[in-house]
Structure 1
Amino acid sequence: MERAPEHASTGGPDGPATRPGEPTTALELLVHGVGGTTPQEMLNDPRTVRVTGDDTAAVFRRADDVDAEHNPDDRRREGPVPEAYVWCNLTSGNGTRALWLLLLPFMVVNLAHWMRPSAHGRRRTVRLYGLLVRLAALTLTVLLVAAACEVALDLAAWQCAGTTACADRHSWLGFLSPGVSDGGWWSAPGRRLALAAVVPTALTVLLWYLSRRTWSDYESQQPIERAAEPEGDGGPTALGRPGFWYGRRLVARLRAAHTAAGLITVAAAVGSAAARHDRRPGGPAVLDVLGLILEAALAACAVAVVWVVCRRGRSERRLDRKLDERFVRRLPLVALVLLALALLYAGWERPGWTSEGRLPGDATFGGIALVQGLLVIVLGVVAHGLHRTDPDRRAVLRGLGGPAVAMLACALGGVMSGGVSQRVSDWLDGTGASIEGPPVLLTWQASVIPPLLVVLLGLIGWLAHRAWQLASAERAAVALDYPDEAEDPARTRRIAYTRAMASLTDRGPRIVAVTSGATLLLGAGALVGALATDETPAEAAQGASPVVHGAAETAQALGSWLIGLGFILFVTWGRRAYKDASARRTIGILWDVGTFWPRASHP
């Protein structure tokens, strides 16, 4: 393959500069699908030349058509000049693309914003819809950072390092264990938590870096200046609004809020344990007051984060070139200062302080699950109201597609957080008796996975039966479509099967609806069970009938293995994507399709 000099355009803003009466050359642009291909295959010619672009994306021509503009009367050419746009390397990238798997729930919740039903004259309701999705996205960030805190702070630093039997099995935790290190400086519970806080803090910084990098590459690119459009529903021309693709201010604002939320989560996890110890009867009065001040400051910063997320949404009808210079941009810095103060406060000397049981604050996961469920329910009510205002038969699930997808995003976040917590707990606690393990709610959430899989298997069975029925019906239709062809049963079955499988995509919304509905109901049941009993399902079922107790034990054990298996598959896929370009391309295809729309909910 050769490369030709890139052609500079000689036209003005209204088109190419051609003189009247001169012959022109018609061009035919060929664009391949997400599967990718080569320019030789697209142009059906082994000799191709790159006329513009680079190694990532480029436009190719056949070697005989490189100078087609200068020879429009070439008799060897019939029809327009074909050009092949090859963009498959956009979905490949380097090994860091495997990190995108970590952002899968964020991508899904961003899609929920763009599934909002259209409505005329309901500006406040439309804004409320966007606000609810942004809040749901914020809970996903808090959930991910809280899962990192659960693994590093609770399971490793608090429980395992605080138990001699567990620390003996993991020598790398020996210097944190009071029994193994003979009361070393790092063995104090607060200092163990302060050191372990490096892990969730690093995760928060990684999320900030990924958002900052893509924001600099895409949202910060200045668009062409255009006049603002009047308020009102844009209808089919929404993609052409002046600020539709320009989200520089919103993404920067959301990035600051989500970064601050992650740092506040880490600070609260570290400081709450020390504050609870200082509030005991006879505790140090000075540290007790400092703990109250720290908790009040963290609460105020959390309120500021929520205000920043709720205050402003997307600006599509005009180009909003401003940036929130003062308060919003300094919010992550304030949260970082509070985190440093929390680490200093927790690391202060406290004689007689030992770590027992689970880390205080394990009810955080229950609070996050409750807030997410309420947000999804309210989002469904708002979406239903918008759909009733302006019904559209093409709307997915009668306008409830957005809430359903938001529920799936929350479920993905729950599976990821529960999976990593469960696997790390099993790895640290080899005997299953030295530490208490993750919060009870995560065990309940893992226990509802088997019933959810039963529902999914039922859906798969229904789809298979439906596909068989459609294939049987299509055989007669195929014979009628090709009356002059010789009878070929194998070919007829193949065509009928292909048509039947293609029609199954029309039933995708039903699958999403059933899955999200079952997830919401089972998640609500898990939350109620965890809050009502404060015990695992197997422990809560003790004293019940043998059938109920056996079912609870089976669901708990099977759910624990399934959620762990899901986490292992997730890590395996990410590792394979890091080494294998084809796997990276598959992830890139999914990611490019999912991130086609601008970031409106999560940065």
Structure 2
Amino acid sequence: MLDVPQTVRVTGDERAAIHRRVDDVDAESRGESGAGRPVPEAYVWCQSRYEHVARASWLVLLPFALINLAHWMLPAAGGHVRAIRLYGLLVRLTALTLTVLLVAASCEVVLDLAAWQCAGSRVCAQEHSWLRFLSPVGSAGGWWSQPGRRLVMAALAPAAFIGLLWWLSCRTWSAYESQQPVPRSAGSDDDNDHGSALSRPGFWYGQRLVARLRAAHVAAGFLTVAAAVGTSAGRYDRASGHRAGLEVLSWVFDTALCVGAVVVLWVVCRRGRSEHRLDRQIDTLVMRYLPTAALVLLAAAMLYAGWSRPDWRSSGRMPGGAAFSIIAIVQCVFVIALGVVARLLYRSRPDPRTALRGLAGPAVALLACTLGAVLSGGMAQRAGDWLNNTDESIAGPPVLLTWQASAAPPLLLVLLAVFAWLAWRTRQVSRQERAHVESDYPGEIRDTVRTRRIASKRARAALIDRSPLVIGVASGGSLALCMAGLTGAFVTEKGPSEAAQGAGGLVQGTAEAAQALGSWLMVVGFLLFLAWSHHAYKGQAGRRTITVLDMGTFWPRAAHPLAPPCYAERAVPDVAWRITTWSQTTGGRLALSAHGQGSVLVAAAICQLSPSLRRRVALQTYGSPLERLYGRWFPAHFGPASLTALHGSVQGWRNLYRLTDPVGGPIRLAGDHGPAVDRAPLVDPLALGRTAQHPLPAPILGNVGYQTDPAFAEEEAKLLAGLRPAVTPRSASALPAAAPGGDARTGPPQPPSPSA
């Protein structure tokens, strides 16, 4: 970023730091800033390879990340405070059902399929030797052979998984959410709202809400495991009636379970985000005692289920399979209600550029629920097929999970059809672009092969503008398949292959193929996504190809506390602190230069400044997704009103983009603001063929290499010149803002020396 082999860390730590060139470390004290030369700095976050790998690993919990994104896809609306609060509440409740669903799915695999069904079956236990010590036959009636004790042993796995997520969330919470933003004095112009929630004092400080939600979700996970263990024993005690004491304990346990569920719901519904003020309070009672109480109840359930019941035998499926149907119905109700609220908010301030006409949040929430359901069904079906082998010795997972696993192949076919149409459309656009490419290089020798390559690059770069179509089709298909799965499970009470028997060879074969492929697709898809996400963070080139990974970790955890941690809650305060303290110390002005995702970071940091400081800042963005992605998908925070207010609050703003860039695009401000911000698209490559200035073929750069374009230096010089006249005769330096998607630099122009 600084274009030198050696740099010095001015401030920061191993996670995020500000660097300067070696010769510029003490530029202010030497008075060199008075010579009119900008002093560049670079802000770099997440420098270690470990941080990149850790972020990629978190994205395995993709349903949690998607439901968190749905919270921030709120349509832009004036007023309607109650509707906005209802929107946030519905998203938080949907997120809670996702946690319960995935924990219940893990219980289904470990407790029901392995410990209850397979270990209780002579044939299955003989096939899998690692389960023989739990089997009444294989262990000759050993201590662990009773069903309750088998469930206690199996429950340790999902409980340990919840504990791991709890620990990871606490660890990242202390590293990100606990970073305090720049303090503001009450009654000053710092309280002037920028027209966006991004300017509010508590926007990037959500430790109270994250702590509450983490306690609620962890408690819900432990309660789910406790219900799976304790209710099975309770049903047996109430049905047998052999011991009155155990029957009473079953009712006490069920009552405690219901009370715990009500408390969890109250904690989730009671409080949303506190953005209008810096809320440093922590709900200690909730944060410490709610998960502990749920863990104690789980331990009590294990003791209760482990009590000796010699006559108890496990057969068929474990009780409680209807819970998956209840969760699916509740999720559908929440998503439909979310769509109604989102549509009402969108109609109050419609914008044709908004993705899916305001329904982006409900669509992404539906995708999160669908992905959770398909992942649960695929995981359970794969485990059932593996344990069952070909002996048909166990009943397998609940019918609904089998239907959900079978939904993966049809949904994949729908997406493949959409991608095929996009490929055809891209080819059509590429042909149309060839004439435009030749007109961009007047006077050069025509090169058909080169022209086709450039036109194809432009057409493929435009695919990201059709992402709402893909999300819309995927969410619509998901809803249809969800309804079909619920209908099939309730009407037939059989899996797809059993329900299709007698309907003809083709229908039955298709149903059997979908059921078999569904479980394998989940395994293969999980491994591919894990490898893909890790590869994306190996370097900038890989990460630019999947900007959605940075989008998923940019927003604070407002809906799901177990989503990937928000790096911006560290990076935005870092940049805002540096701008504020440096400006107050030197009295200088700043030119911030940001690329890709860095432009989003810098825009958010500028919103956190006081109005007086914003007027001392000039902004240069290039390859920026501010409007192309964030403005369309997150209109309440980066919509036209917010970006127009940002332009009006800074000294100057210029944006560079290329038609071959698959990420960056124009800012598209209305009226006179548009030409003032957006420069005409840069020509890429710089030459069509071989010229005197480019004797070798110039590369097609796309999202990289903006600094090598002559227009970059031209626009940078204009911004610096615009800052100089009003600068006071005090030393100034440059502040760069580096960002995830590419480099981000800031450098303020130096004022003229006092003698000048």
TM-score bracket for the superposition, by shorter chain length? 0.7 to 0.9
- Find the partner of 2:475 among 508, 516, 526: 516
> For 2:541 and 2:124, how far apart are their aligned partners in 1?
38
- Identity of matched residues, %: 60
Q: Distance in 2 between matches of 1:284 and 1:531?
A: 35
SS of corresponding position for 2:40: strand
For the Cα contact (< 8 Å) 1:91–1:586, is it kept in 2?
no
Q: 1:472 aligns with which of 419, 431, 449?
A: 431
> Aligned runs of 1:209-358 on 2, under 5 Å?
209-226=167-184, 236-280=195-239, 282-327=241-286, 329-358=288-317
Give the TM-score normalised by the residue count of structure 1: 0.86
How many Å apart are 1:218 and its aligned residue? 2.1
Q: Deviations over 1:555-596 (max 9, x none)?
A: 22232332333244456668x779x96699859975443121
CA distance in 2, matches of 1:162, 1:583: 52
Structure 2 counterpart of 1:104, one-letter code: L
Q: 1:58 to 1:252 in 2, by over 3 A?
A: closer
Query: Aligned to 1:253, what secondary structure does the other structure show?
Result: helix
Q: Report deviation, 1:44.
A: 3.7
8 Å Cα contact 2:46/2:52 also seen in 1: no
* SS of residue paired to 2:557: coil
Alpha-carbon distance in 2 for matches of 1:233, 1:346: 59
User: Partners of 1:48 and 1:225 in 2: how far apart?
Assistant: 30
1:417, distance to aligned residue in structure 2 (A): 2.1
1:393 corresponds to which of 335, 352, 355 = 352
> 2:278, 2:14 → 1: CA distance?
32
Distance 1:475 1:293 in 2: 75
Which amino acid in the other structure matches residue 165 of structure 1? V
CA contact (8 A) 2:374 2:407 kept: no
Greater alpha carbon shift after TM alignment, 92-101 vs 115-124: 92-101
CA distance in 2, matches of 1:519, 1:366: 16
CA–CA distance in 2 between the matches of 1:59 and 1:326? Answer: 38
Map 1:5-16; keep pairs closer than 5 Å. Answer: none
Shift of the alpha carbon at 1:228? 6.8
* In structure 1, distance between residues paired with 2:232 and 2:455: 64
Spell out, residue by residue over 1:446-484, the C-alpha distance to the aligned partner (whole angstroms, 9 max, x if none).
212222112111111111111111111110011112112
Conserved 8 A contact 1:57-1:90: no
Residue 96 and residue 491 in structure 1: after superposition, are their counterparts in 2 closer, same or farther (change >3 A)? Answer: closer
Following the alignment from structure 1 to structure 2, what is the Cα–Cα distance between the partners of residues 365 and 145?
Answer: 11
Matches within 5 A, 1:199-214: 199-214=157-172
State whether structure 2 residue 383 is matched by structure 1 residue 424. Answer: yes
Task: Say if 1:277 and 1:283, in contact at 8 Å, map to a contact too.
Answer: no
1:179 alignment partner in structure 2: 137
- 2:116–2:150: 8 Å Cα contact kept in structure 1? yes
Shift of 1:78: 8.7
Is contact 1:419–1:566 with CA below 8 Å preserved after alignment?
Answer: no
Number of residues of Structure 1 aligned to a counterpart in Structure 2: 558
Report which stretch shifted further, 435-444 or 506-515: 435-444
Letter matched to residue 233 of structure 2:
A
Task: Quote the residue 1:82 is aligned against.
Answer: 40
Instruction: Give the Cα separation in 2 of the matches to 1:465 and 1:589.
Output: 24
The answer to whether the 8 A contact 2:378-2:518 is kept is: no
Q: Which runs of no fewer than 5 residues in structure 1 stay unpaired?
A: 1-41
| Secondary structure of 2:554's aligned partner | coil
1:21 paired residue number: none
Q: 1:344 to 1:371 in 2, by over 3 A?
A: same
Q: Give the letter for the 1:120 counterpart.
A: G
- Residue identity matched to 1:368: I
Deviation at 1:101, TM superposition (A): 3.3
> Following TM superposition, by how much is the alpha carbon of 1:144 offset from its aligned partner in structure 2, in angstroms?
1.5
Distance 1:95 1:186, change over 3 A: farther
Name which of structure 1's ranges 544-553 and 388-397 shifts more when overlaid on structure 2: 544-553
CA contact 1:97–1:584 (8 Å) conserved in 2:
no
Q: Which residue of 2 aligns with 1:38?
A: none
User: Unaligned regions of 5+ residues in structure 2, if any?
Assistant: 562-756
Which of 402, 412, 422 aligns to 1:463? It is 422
CA distance in 2, matches of 1:95, 1:425: 32
Relative to 1, partners in 2 of residues 1:571 and 1:388: Cα closer, same or farther, differing over 3 Å?
closer
Deviations 1:336-385 (A, max 9, x none): 22111111111111121111011111122211111111111110011001
1-structure distance, mates of 2:240, 2:430: 74
Cα deviation for residue 60 of structure 1 reads: 3.9
Which residue in the other structure is 1:5 paired with?
none
Label 1:154 to 1:228 Cα distance change in 2 as closer, same or farther (>3 A): farther
Compute the TM-score of the two structures, normalised by the length of structure 2.
Answer: 0.69
SS at match of 1:81: coil
In the superposition, relative to structure 1, how do residues 72 and 466 fare at CA in structure 2: closer, same or farther (>3 Å)?
A: farther
Q: Tell me, in whole angstroms, the C-alpha distance in 2 between the residues paired with 1:281 and 1:172.
A: 31
RMSD: 2.9
